[in-house]
Structure formats: C-alpha cells, structure tokens
C-alpha cells in the first residue's frame, strides 16, 4: 500500500471523522546564507526563502488558548534561522531536510512537516526566477 502524499503548504488536509488537525505555517522567512555547489556561492552567499508547514492537533491549544499546547512559530523561525545561517550546504535539498528534522526534534507535537527552500536567481547560466525544493516527512506510528 502506497503512503498518502503530504501536501501541507497550500492545501487543506483530509480529516477522519472524530479527529481534527491544524496546519501551522511560517511563510517566506528570508535569510542571507552561504549554500551552493560553487565556490562563489559559498564565498559571497545569497538570499534564501523558506516556508514551513506543520501538521498537528490544535484542539487543546484552541480550547485553552495556550501557546504551550501548540507550535510556537517564533521558536520555529529561530530554529530555521539557526539551520540556514549556521551551516554551509551544497544542496538546498539538504537544507530543507535539516530544517524539517530540527523542527521535528524540538516539537514532538508536530505529526508531519513540509519545508520548501527557494533560492532566487540561481546560477543556471540563464534567466530563472528561482530554484526550489520541497521536502515532506510524516512521523511513523509508534
């Protein structure tokens, strides 16, 4: 049986009867960092844009109006900034993977995550608005 695809960034998620889910998003967080396959990209750096969509049960947080029962998106922003600006990777695929797994490590309430990393004006030898990668991960049942 094929696992269901995860599409968190711009869609709603199917919810089984009697269950609820929410998606907490951080959209277009922008950083200056030094990632890429060329020496010039590592030396000069460039702009990176990140979206994070996290699926979780938000019932308790909504009922109690309590931040500690959900994902603190300010905290997520700090984690993303730490990963993006504190490392040098060749691939934006690795960057998206590292962001996703760092968020999952810190926020066990997150059941699934989707991270998109955009690199505006990539060095492709021609006109190109951006290169981007989306990485999705859903926790397995324990």
Domain containing 63: what range?
A: 22-119
pLDDT exceeding 90 applies to what percent of the chain?
75
Residue 55 scores a pLDDT above 60: yes
141 is catalytic: no
Residue 56: inside a domain, yes or no? yes
Angle, CA of 77, 83 and 84, to the nearest 5°: 85
The tens digit of pLDDT for each residue in 72-119 reads 999 999 999 999 999 999 999 999 999 999 999 999 999 999 999 999
Residues in the chain: 142
Split at pLDDT 50, 70, 90, the class of 18 is: low
pTM flag (> 0.95):
no
Higher pLDDT, 15 or 135: 135
CA-to-CA distance for 121 and 127, rounded, in angstroms?
8
DSSP state string for 95-111: HHHHHHHHHHHH-TT--
Split at pLDDT 50, 70, 90, the class of 4 is: low
| SS3 at position 56 | strand
CA-to-CA distance for 127 and 78, rounded, in angstroms?
32
Closest CA to 95 of 20, 4, 6, 29: 29
Total count of domains within the chain: 1
Q: Taking residues 58-74, what's their average pLDDT?
A: 92
Kindly name the residue from 63, 88, 98, 119 that is annotated as catalytic. Answer: 119
Residue 87: inside a domain, yes or no? yes
CA-to-CA distance for 66 and 82, rounded, in angstroms?
25
For residue 86, the domain's CATH number is 3.30.1130.10
Residue 142: inside a domain, yes or no? no
């Amino acid at each position: 049986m094929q696992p269901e695809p995860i599409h968190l960034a711009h869609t709603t998620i199917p919810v089984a009867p009697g269950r609820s889910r929410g998606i907490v998003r951080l959209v277009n967080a922008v950083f200056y960092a030094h990632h890429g396959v060329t020496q010039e990209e590592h030396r000069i750096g460039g702009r990176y844009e990140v979206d994070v969509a996290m699926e979780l049960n938000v019932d308790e947080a909504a009922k109690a109006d309590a931040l500690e029962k959900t994902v603190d998106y300010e905290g997520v922003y700090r984690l993303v900034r730490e990963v993006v600006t504190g490392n040098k990777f060749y691939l934006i695929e690795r960057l998206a993977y590292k962001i996703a797994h760092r968020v999952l490590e810190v926020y066990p309430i997150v059941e699934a995550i989707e991270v998109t990393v955009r690199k505006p004006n990539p060095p492709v030898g021609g006109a190109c608005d951006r290169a981007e990668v989306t990485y999705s991960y859903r926790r397995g049942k324990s």
